[in-house]
Structure 1
């Protein structure tokens, strides 16, 4: 089973965006030397704690400074863009870095109403999502002889497209189009079981890769590993605080870890616990047991892990330990 990294390019408190991007490059380079298969970045807007708003630009930057690992979007929020522009961007990336670029697509806005207006879009754009995905697939496929518009670069690159989702809609669309499917279980696991069942039951091979591989499911898991359970739980306090503040309408940079979580009220604590339930947090032995349980329960074809950790070296150490655990599980 392949395993990968989802990097939200966090900007920690006391740090700058430039430092956050440098930290992502260093993490990707470390992953390139381990057995991580993919390194994905996500599109978010108007958030000072996330440095990956210009996702395709950052993908190119990371791909240029790594040599083996696949680099991609987990994902691009397609309602924010025209299918042609995304085909050209990722077609260009695939031309520069052959067989190393992935394109995950979501229909969430990646921001609020003010972001939509700033992007010159509207919430209604999401209604066209299925048609836009099909159009994008056509731009990246082989050009028909009568095509009025050709994505160049893009046409014929066959950049692998993934469907992302946290609801039944994405599962149904991925099944209908024969696409691999990644579920956002790292922050919205509520519909995970039902969506996975729908995807596997309704999958229809519709494309070249799909016909060869059948349904292909990626599970997203929060992993925070440290030398001891206590140290890992302390590091996780950053993620808990960040999520609670986001849900309270007070997003910001990634908080420093703390023993004092009193600002998380009981209702928020229940919300955070539910949102982050697909997690493995602790020493290598603890993380191994928790990951083994999740793999046994959901039988993913791939695993993608993410860890919101304030200190860059502690974050790299966590991913090193996770790689050792996952290699051990595979063996």
Structure 2
């Protein structure tokens, strides 16, 4: 294991992807089960996403699902990757995270993004259009003000029980949002890793423009992307097939579908455009055997200077996904690393104590 990898935190984001032949509700239970696995393997944090009106994603209420994940685990940090702030009133978001942080002190992260609904119909149903994303910096400042107790727009109104709590905030960005994170003095979560040049430019701009704040004294970068590990490079590549086809299908049919088995996708007759998009969806991810992935991670971390890697892999075969995380844990060996934001995770191989079960990057 290289010193670069050893000094980097590794975390997991699960999008609660639905699967052909499986009930939608099962995707949420899969997310909770995966969180338990991630905790047992020693990953630093486990995040979930927000999507509305998307057949391929069951996670439509991230703070509700985060409560279920936190209740089913005991030490791993739990958060959102992220709550899409243009869809919500900042006061309500503050209150929701205040409840989470009160129930699970020292374990809750507040990842925030600027995306709006996937389609015009979803945006109309949510009551928010693309223009709401332009006010993301203002909404972010208002939300932080509710938590810090410094907001002045609504005198006499307080966000209970959030006000005065220490709830770490993170800004999710594809590129443009990096300047928002820098101005606010917040950690940056950026992806995906395939657009490496764009990501590197955004990270450089973030570090250059970072303004220290009460929440972060220095820039902190979390890079997010797909990492698939298997016994062979071809087996790792097949883990990428379901998501690559779902993306290609969404761009040619306007609908993001449940994940299909790789073996069925590989027999499909695709149009030239579908095939091109599908091949693009397979390219550029970190995948391979443990040795191959270790080398590629070392290069990625070295190029980006990342403090943390947030693994966002989705695939039809959940057992293969868990095995990929186990192999990644052997590469990263995320031993208990404490920091000021919360308790250390379990060392690799030590399982969490039983806990009653309940049940990115977008920006």
In 1: Cα distance, 2:292 partner to 2:38 partner? 22
Q: Does 1:151 align with 2:198?
A: no
TM-score by length of 1: 0.91
Corresponding position of 1:298:
304
Aligned residue number for residue 313 of structure 1 = 319
**Partner in structure 1 of residue 219 of structure 2:** 215
Higher mean alpha-carbon deviation, 282-291 vs 100-109, is at: 282-291
Instruction: Give distance in 2, aligned partners of 1:124 and 1:138.
Output: 22
Quick one: distance in 1 between partners of 2:162 and 2:279? 42
Q: Report the secondary structure of 1:164's partner residue.
A: strand
Of 238, 241, 261, the match for 1:234: 238
Residues 129-168 of structure 1 correspond to what in structure 2 (within 5 A)? 129-142=136-149, 147-167=155-175
Count of residue pairs brought into register by the alignment: 326
1:91-240 to 2 correspondences below 5 Å: 91-142=98-149, 147-167=155-175, 169-186=176-193, 191-205=198-212, 207-211=213-217, 214-240=218-244
Q: How does 1:53-72 map to 2 (within 5 A)?
A: 53-72=60-79
The answer to whether the 8 Å contact 1:226/1:318 transfers is yes
* The 10-residue stretch of structure 1 (142-151 or 250-259) with the greater mean CA deviation from structure 2: 142-151
Q: Describe the superposition over 1:14-70 as per-residue Cα deviations: whole angstroms up to 9, x where unpaired.
A: 111221111111110011112211101111111111111111110001000000011
Query: 1:184: how far off?
Result: 2.4
Normalised TM-score (structure 2): 0.84
Q: 1:252 aligns with which of 247, 250, 257?
A: 257
Deviation at 1:238, TM superposition (A): 1.0
- CA 1:287 to 1:165, structure 2 compared with 1: closer, same or farther past 3 Å? same
User: Residues 63 and 188 (structure 1 numbering): CA distance in 2 closer, same or farther, change over 3 Å?
Assistant: farther
Alignment partner of 1:85 is 2:92 = yes
Gaps of 5+ in 2: 1-7, 338-363
For CA contacts below 8 A with separation 6 or more, give which structure has more relative contact order: 2
What CA deviation, in whole Å up to 9, does each residue of 1:96-115 have, x standing for no partner? Answer: 00011111111111422211
Give the alignment's Cα RMSD to 1 decimal.
2.3
- Runs (4 or more) in structure 1 with deviation over 3 Å come to 142-147, 186-190, 261-278
Distance (Å, rounded) in 1 between the aligned partners of 2:247 and 2:202: 23
Deviation at 1:124, TM superposition (A): 2.0
Give the equivalent residue in structure 1 for 2:348. none
